[in-house]
Structure 1
Amino acid sequence: MNDLILHHYASSPFSEKVRLILGFKKLPWRSVMIPPILPKPDVVALTGGYRKTPVLQVGADVYCDTALICDVLEHLRPEPTLYPPHLKGVCRIFAQWADTTLFWAAMGYNLQPKGAQHVFAKAPPEAAKAFAEDRKAMSANMTRLRPGDATSAYRSYLRRIANMADEHDFLFGAEPCVADFAAYHGIWYTRTQVPVLADILNATPAVGEWMNRMEALGHGQMTTFDSTAALEVAKAVDPLPPSGKLLVDSAFQDDHGIALGEQVTITAEAFGPEPTQGKLIAATRTHYSIEREHELTGVVHVHFPRIGYVLRKADAA
């Protein structure tokens, strides 16, 4: 069961990042549409608590966070690469900045009152309130930029990206790499989801031209799939054995004094404070993996990147 099942929703910026990578790599995938806010019973059944979007499912293995999903897709289809050998370090560092600092500046600008009003213009008033309360709960552990500060930062970041796009077709050369996909999705939200605020892009036409080239990559070969069927896929198979994992590193790296086999929780450092609990089955230089079981999924392995996540013994959580 090696079908790629992406649990996402249409307006999710990080989902757009992964959708474009699937198109870039020409990987066929199944699309499961999920709610943008809680409750998300089927997602939580798969992950055990993690509820950020998107989530990638491959059989009974569940991959959380787009940084880790990028590594999985790179392993499945190494060419075209997300990590050119001569840029491997710098493109990862840039992507980490873009997925955090750039993204939150963009969203602080995008969801200022005028933008939020546009997003929810056709929705009942309670929908906007529910979304705001949901995101407030998810950002309890972080400081969010106010709209004015976000706007100032976003303008500066757009100019810097324009400088890069002036030099090449893509940010680091003639072909896109992980840096392009990480930088794109927050700006994509500006252009496609809050067009009433998209005039901020007018001062940097090179950014718009770069975005056109990114958009042209498309989303690849997508087929719709049902959430219940996705859970049945997980229940019908066993998780991949260590030798068959879609994550290449396997050596145990103990920085916490927590042995494999112990019950642990894994929680995002900032956005999305919901913990996931299970038996620790891997702690490598790049990722954590836990084993857990749910009546709807059977035994699943849930994987997280090491950077950006906190590992604790379950009794110390």
Structure 2
Amino acid sequence: MTATANSIILHQYDISPFSEKVRIVLGLKGLEWFACDEPVIMPKPELVALTGGYRKIPVMQIGADIYCDTQIIIRELEKRFPTPSLFVGGDRGIGWGIGMWTDRVFFQAAVAIIFGGGAALADEAFIKDREKLTGRPFDIEAMKAAAPMMAEQFRAQLGWLEDQLADGRAFLMGDKPGIAEANAYYNLAFIRWTSPAGAKLIEAFPKLLAWEARVRAIGHGTRHEISREDALDIAQAASSTEQVSRDAGEPNGLAPGDRVTVMADDYGRDPVVGEVVSSSAQHIAIRRKDPRVGEVVVHFPRTGFLVIKG
């Protein structure tokens, strides 16, 4: 199968936990998609040509529209492919909030267990890359010291999930899987891939184990492969479908045509510069140009990102 401007292209790598979150959504919706494997560490020249500087994984591409961060990727997939919905139990709002917990507090506990336990992922090149990404030392010794305490934190949060499943429900919000599954499951998958000691913590929760197996069985939809160069060619030949629109509720008066810088507020704060195309309480889209791909529109969520005018 050959990708087109309408194809879902996920710039990812297989051991990326945040890519797993999106892959579960693709499975829940039964979608066909193209995996464009990116390097685990910098340099990532093809990815940066698309995003303008944003380097975190995953990034979703549909034609010349580039979606950065799982939050906006999942929002766009729900918008384009509303059936079956990701919102299955009155969780249309709180589902996004659950994602902030799983992406930050839950994920950081998993990271400390994985790297504090001596996972073979962290060679010298990886450590230097992650120090540039986070802007602080990637201190394996500190993680080793913290790992026992983080195991307690991780176990406590597993307990929350076990409690949610205590009434015999199949999934976190009821009898159907949705956004809560994608948000929570990937941290368990990451632990499974990399930390036998961390995986033992999961084994103590029988209802969570059964839920984990049900989510795993959902799969990842229908996956195809695409090269990085072919993905760039698609962006170059396509045009963005994002419509220019102004949000009268913008707190700081942002309007289409304004020049802005967008960056994450936690780590990976590589600035992306462009002109506003559209914005809302949950989304901002900016237009930028690159010598390799031409004009693209890059999309970001608002929660977790800073938008600086000028």
TM-score over 0.5 for the alignment? yes
Residue equivalent to 1:222: 223
Q: Which runs of 4+ in 1 moved over 6 A?
A: 141-145
Cα deviation for residue 160 of structure 1 reads 1.0
Q: Structure 2 length as normaliser, TM-score? A: 0.91
Residue equivalent to 2:18: 14
Residue equivalent to 1:255: 251
Structure 1 contact 253–283 (Cα < 8 Å) conserved = no
Residue equivalent to 2:115: 111
Residue equivalent to 1:190: 191
The residue type equivalent to 1:19 in the other structure is: R
Deviations 1:221-279 (A, max 9, x none): 11110100100100101111418xxxxx9635322244431221101010211111111
Q: Which runs of 5+ in 2 are unaligned?
A: none
Structure 2 contact 117–195 (Cα < 8 Å) conserved = no
Larger CA deviation: 158-167 vs 10-19: 158-167
Whether 1:242 and 2:238 are equivalent positions in the alignment is: no
The residue type equivalent to 2:287 in the other structure is: E
Cα deviation for residue 85 of structure 1 reads 6.4
Structure 2 contact 59–67 (Cα < 8 Å) conserved = yes
Whether 1:132 and 2:127 are equivalent positions in the alignment is: yes
Give the length in aligned residue pairs. Answer: 300
Equivalent residue runs for 1:25-40 within 5 Å: 25-40=29-44
Cα deviation for residue 89 of structure 1 reads 2.1
Residue equivalent to 1:276: 272
RMSD: 2.1
Partners of 2:260 and 2:241 lie apart in 1 by 20
Structure 1 contact 250–282 (Cα < 8 Å) conserved = yes
Partners of 1:78 and 1:302 lie apart in 2 by 22
2:262 to 263, 266, 275: 266
Residue equivalent to 1:154: 154
Residue equivalent to 1:124: none
Deviations 1:177-197 (A, max 9, x none): 211111111111111232353
Cα deviation for residue 171 of structure 1 reads 1.0
Residue equivalent to 1:201: 202
The residue type equivalent to 1:41 in the other structure is: P
Partners of 2:276 and 2:247 lie apart in 1 by 14
Partners of 1:137 and 1:174 lie apart in 2 by 43
Whether 1:100 and 2:104 are equivalent positions in the alignment is: yes
Cα deviation for residue 110 of structure 1 reads 1.7
* Identity rate, percent: 35
The residue type equivalent to 1:94 in the other structure is: I
SS across alignment from 2:46: helix
Q: Which runs of 5+ in 1 are unaligned?
A: 121-127, 244-248
Q: Structure 1 length as normaliser, TM-score? A: 0.89
Partners of 2:248 and 2:60 lie apart in 1 by 24
